Amino acid sequence: FRDHYPWARMNASREVKSVELPNCKLIKGIETGAEDLEILHNGLAFISTGLRYPGIKSFEPDKPGKILLMDLNEEDPTVLELKMTGSNFDASSFNPHGISTFTDEDNTVYLLVVSHPDFKSTVELFKFQEEEKSLLHLKTIKHELLPNLNDLVAVGREHFYATNDHYFVDHYMRSWELYLGLAWSNVVYYSPDDVRVVASGFDFANGISMSPDSKYVYIAELLAHKIHVYEKHANWTLTPLKSLDCNTLVDNISVDPVTGDLWVGCHPNGMKIFSYDPENPPGSEVLQIQNILTEEPKVTVVYAEDGKVLHGSTVASVHKGKMLIGTVFHKALYCEL
């Protein structure tokens, strides 16, 4: 049974060897996850919280999700909930998942959020209004090629690459897809006048990010424990360049804008994420990947623990010696490196 295919893909027998960081503390005000986060160049961090996802634990299943703001320039940063405004936006069904920002030439910041209202998939486009500490909703994007969105990386105000983590929409069929290991999930390029699949054949496509020079796209394949590097072309097509095996379930990818290093939130044992037991909770793991484009990338486990502190890390991002680690449905951690 232990060699059974889903069991192996879930890393179900893996025990976590602890790697501690000295200066970490839980972030007050985050109790229902920080599934994805993004830090702007100026140290402001957007955090998505309150994801409700089929088959995954939620501590507040009846409450809508939120976007939080954190200023890493502060001595002891705290989180603030961003108000959402816009006449056509229904905040009560907001269910945020992956997020990405795009900064215009005039320094206007747009936030693109994968949301699952009624467990469907949309991308919500917001304009960040820093003075008002609010998000102005501009539009909702839906498309038949975006049925099971997980994460996205913005390449323009309304242009992005996005991952679909399943092929089937039906919950019953999705569970079979997961169980049988059908590597049918994909990556889609979206713009208002051109939508197409640009990469496919993934066993649960998850996090997606881009190199600082915008030449390469990084895709996390959760249940194959791999990170794929694709070359991005002028016509938005992607061609596979290489893959990196990680021995852990890789979730969201953040890229350090200065060094180009990848920071990856991971699930060391995926079985514990999909069947939550508070007595034996899922652990957390953060990888730093340096020189991913070379023959010998350097992979370092920066943080790892068995769930005593954080249940189910999904994302880690750094800014000037500080790191944030988020989770699917639990707490978040602030560390000084």
Burial class from Cβ neighbours inside 10 Å (0-12, 13-18, 19+) for residue 107 reads: exposed
User: To 5 degrees, how large is the angle CA 45–CA 47–CA 53?
Assistant: 160
> Is 150 a known ligand-binding residue?
yes
The catalytic site residues sit at: 97
> Is 325 a known ligand-binding residue?
no
- Kindly state the tokens that stand for 52: 């409700």
> Is 170 a known ligand-binding residue?
no
Contact 290, 259 (CB under 8 A): yes
> Is 23 a known ligand-binding residue?
no
> Is 35 a known ligand-binding residue?
yes
> Is 144 a known ligand-binding residue?
no
Angstrom distance (rounded) from CA 121 to CA 143: 9
- Kindly state the tokens that stand for 132: 């008002």
Angstrom distance (rounded) from CA 252 to CA 152: 10
Q: Tell how many helices (H) and how many strands (E) occur in the chain.
A: 3, 25
Angstrom distance (rounded) from CA 244 to CA 93: 37
Contact 101, 110 (CB under 8 A): yes
> Is 99 a known ligand-binding residue?
yes
- Kindly state the tokens that stand for 128: 């960040």
Helices (H), the chain: 5-9, 171-180, 270-274
Q: In what order do the strands lie in the sheet with 23-26?
A: 23-26, 333-336, 322-327, 313-319
Contact 245, 231 (CB under 8 A): no
| 29-to-116, 130, 246 alpha-carbon distances in Å | 22, 20, 32
Contact 153, 210 (CB under 8 A): yes
Please report, in range form, the residues annotated as the binding site for Ca(2+): 35-36, 99, 150-151, 206, 251-252
Binding residues: 35-36, 99, 150-151, 206, 251-252
